[in-house]
Amino acid sequence: MSKLKLASYWGSACGGCDVAILDIHEKIVDLANAADIVFWPIAVDFKYSDLEAYEDGYIDVCLFHGAVRNSENEHIAKLLRQKSKVMVAFGACAITGGIPGLANFKKKEDIFARAYFDTPSTQNKGKVLPTTVLQMPEGEIDIPEFYKDVKCLADVIDVEFYMPGCPPTSEQIWNVVLAIVTGQLPPVGSFVGCEDRALCNTCGRTKTDKKVKKFYRPHEILVDPDSCLLEQGLVCMGPVTRAGCGNQCTGANTPCSGCYGPLSGVVDVGAKFIGALASVVDTDSPEEADKIISDVLDPAGTFYRYALPGSLLRRAK
């Protein structure tokens, strides 16, 4: 049997997923023994032309991280889909849009105006904006088209597996790599490297039925290390977030920000979290409830931090 062929690519991403893969440390040598890496822009020197030269289905498993922000992301996603037998949407950005997806709160024109005209460090007297094709004395330059919104990977290609996290933890990456190498992958469409239950199930903190009169930001209070963060008035996304991260944040007195994404069957994580948050508000009067909820800073950005393009809100209209 020939060696397994792996590819990894970043679309609109920060590179943290690549670092998380490298964080398997010396096991990367075991990985290299078990599989050939045939495309991985951040770590291995292959060009797009090498990828194009592969025959269809040449790559066994492709780990695609990053959202689809521009035409280059989409083009390479489609190319990798054609060349890969199994496509894994790797990390929050590829699954639900992730942090880059927060740009969907603004329109393309607003983003361009901010980036190219309004920022204090920008001097752009000619009001020049990027264009997809530019004629220069040396020839024509192509620049990828900036789409009007950020898309999830599954919006542009078929995806076999989803591996959540921002980034997925290195332990979970190694577990999934082992599953790939030994051919023990679950049914197509599954989430891998995580659990199918909420983070609260794996949280060791004591939960009571305590309700809150005020919400706080983490620096505003001394956090009790033993009791539920939500019941202490911290906006913890644990109730609506998939478990599997090893409770790294809640274990360090920091509320969950929801990077492992919504649970199976949830169509809109923000709506679910509104329900969860409302259930701990301690009041019977609508006015007081309004006041308590208004303590939550940037609710939309907090509840949809990793999942705006994958939610019902999707983008600014």
CB of 202 to other proteins, least distance (A): 24
Point out which residues pair with 234 in neighbouring strands. 216
Alpha helices by DSSP H, the chain = 16-22, 27-34, 48-53, 71-83, 92-96, 108-113, 153-156, 170-181, 269-278, 286-293, 299-303
Q: Shortest approach of other proteins to residue 155 CB, angstroms?
A: 16
Tell me the closest approach of the beta carbon of residue 271 to other proteins, in angstroms: 4
Asked if 268 touches other proteins (CB under 8 A), the answer is yes
Confirm or reject binding of residue 14 to other proteins (CB under 8 A).
no
Q: Judged by CB under 8 A, which of 15, 186, 225, 275 binds other proteins?
A: 275
Q: Exposed, middle or buried, 210 (CB in 10 Å: 0-12/13-18/19+)?
A: middle
- Using CB under 8 A as the binding rule, whether residue 129 contacts other proteins is answered as no
Pick from 105, 77, 272, 240: nearest CA to 164: 240
Residue 239 sits at φ, ψ, to 5 deg, of: -60, -25
Q: How far apart are CA 234 and CA 215, in angstroms?
A: 6
Instruction: Quote the least distance from Cβ 94 to other proteins, whole Å.
Output: 23
H or E, element range at 64: strand 59-65
First-to-final CA distance of the chain: 52
Q: List the one residue from 271, 281, 293, 316 that touches other proteins (CB under 8 A).
A: 271
Interface with other proteins, residue 272, by CB under 8 A: yes
- Count interface residues toward other proteins (CB under 8 A): 9
Q: Is residue 149 a contact residue for other proteins (CB under 8 A)?
A: no
Residues from 278 through 297 that contact other proteins (CB under 8 A): none
235 sits near other proteins (criterion: CB under 8 A):
no
312 makes contact with other proteins (CB under 8 A): yes
In the complex, the residues that contact other proteins under the rule CB under 8 A are: 266-268, 271-272, 274-275, 312-313
